Amino acid sequence: MGEDKTVTFAVITENDIDEAAIRHAVESPQSGAVVMFSGVVRNHDGGRDVQSLEYQAHPDAERFLAECCASVAAETGLSIAVAHRVGTLEIGDVALLAAVSAAHRREAFEACELLVERIKATVPIWKRQSLASGTTEWVGL
């Protein structure tokens, strides 16, 4: 049971996220729970129709993502894997996929929530949504 818990995957990509690869990155014989969070592009925001989202990342964003994931892994002692997409995403596309494995579900759920909240707060990735009205707006700036 002395296996190191670590960040096994922390990438920013323009490609579709491979859910099976991220899950596999955190699975181990010691894990009784693997919790995954999928941040999916939805068709509405604040009562308005959304057509698509565009994510842009700072050139150092992947380093920030890796540091964020490493800090959560160090605090929790759990294995973590994350991928975040950039570029134009359509409704239903996965923008963020985070996975955490733990011996028990509660600690996996809590760590996954901590991870996602910390990513949103510290990683320099910005979102612009295209609305059905023909306008665009930056979100969360």
- What average pLDDT does this structure show over 38-61? 96
Between helices 61-76 and 105-122, what is the axis angle to 10°? Answer: 150
Residue 103 pLDDT:
96
The CATH number corresponding to 7-139 among 3.50.50.60, 3.90.1170.40, 1.10.1060.10, 3.10.20.30 equals 3.90.1170.40
32/6: higher pLDDT: 32
- What average pLDDT does this structure show over 114-130? 97
CA distances to 67, 74, 97, 125 from 71, in Å: 6, 5, 18, 18
2, pLDDT greater than 90: no
Residue 9 pLDDT:
86
Residue 32 pLDDT:
96
Give residue limits of the domains in the chain. 7-139
pTM: 0.92
CA distances to 45, 82, 123 from 63, in Å: 29, 12, 9
